[in-house]
Amino acid sequence: MWQMIGWISWGIIGFLALSFAWGCRSYVKAGHGFQQATGVQTFFWWFIFILFLIFGWNKLHILWIAPIAFFSARFLALGNIPILSPAVLFLTKIFLNIILVGIDKPEGLRSSSADFQKIAFIKSLVKKRIQNDAIMSMTGNTDALSDTMLMGLPEATIVTIVETYLQLKSQGRSDTESLKAIESHRASFGDSGILPSELTLSNYIKYRVGLEHSHGTPITDEFVEEAIKGAIDAFS
């Protein structure tokens, strides 16, 4: 009986490994990044699955290892643990490069100077937020994040929405038409809610950041406003 429970646990981990990897590929293929914690969790599922397959350890240990891996992924992803967090993020970056083989970078990022400018600007916003956080400023390390993981951060959400908004506006669309078009696209990936009654770029971005990044480090309205202004200046 216990042996069967162990095999079932291992099978569940295998399912999680495959489904998380497929989810990561699907998000990136559709032009979206994903939160770095998701990348770390995916790496952990595959790591556990393969180790228990190779070494033939008692699979009942998965019952306590899996919960620890799941809950520790977010703490490690935020870079709050010296030495360990950078190491895990580095390994996760290598792992993601493997499972994302054959898929273009998120949001059309290729290798043009404009794309490098966008990534550099997102990194600058992340570093600024980290510097304003007493805990994250001691351990945050944006250099350990891949472009895909960066695109899963709130700063990337802000920059991408501003960039798309400006493109739609340049085509002659109104503010409302532009924001509703962006909402239709982003809501198609499962994150949907009730649009602000006063639909402005600022209110919309605050709504999307709250919706898509509700489980991450809190982002102040002041920071969002500053990031929007910087993005408008950068991409106008």
What are 162's two structure tokens? 């501003």
> 93-124: per-residue pLDDT in tens?
888 888 877 765 554 444 445 567 788 888 88
What are 177's two structure tokens? 């038409």
User: Which portions of the chain are predicted below pLDDT 50?
Assistant: 107-112, 134-139
12 occurs within a structural domain: yes
Q: Of 175, 24, 32, 35, whose CA–CA distance to 101 is shortest?
A: 24
Helices (H), 32-108: 36-55, 62-77, 84-99
Q: Which domain holds residue 102?
A: 1-109
203 occurs within a structural domain: no
6 occurs within a structural domain: yes
What are 28's two structure tokens? 């990136």
200 occurs within a structural domain: no
> 55-65: per-residue pLDDT in tens?
878 989 999 99
Sign of the dihedral through C-alpha 22, 28, 29, 31? positive
83 occurs within a structural domain: yes
Q: Of 116, 129, 127, 149, whose CA–CA distance to 40 is shortest?
A: 149
Q: How far apart are the first and last CA of the chain?
A: 64
Number of domains present in the structure of the chain: 1
Break the chain down into helix, strand, coil percent, rounded to 5: 75, 0, 25
pLDDT, residue 56, reads: 79
Is-above-0.75 flag for pTM?
no
170 occurs within a structural domain: no
pLDDT, residue 229, reads: 94
pLDDT, residue 134, reads: 45
CA angle 178, 182, 188 (to 5 degrees): 150
Are 109 and 119 spatial neighbours (Cβ–Cβ below 8 Å)?
Answer: yes
Q: Of 155, 203, 157, whose CA–CA distance to 179 is shortest?
A: 203
What are 169's two structure tokens? 């506006």
97 occurs within a structural domain: yes
Q: What are phi and psi of 149, to 5 degrees?
A: -70, -35
* CA gyration radius, the chain: 19
163 occurs within a structural domain: no
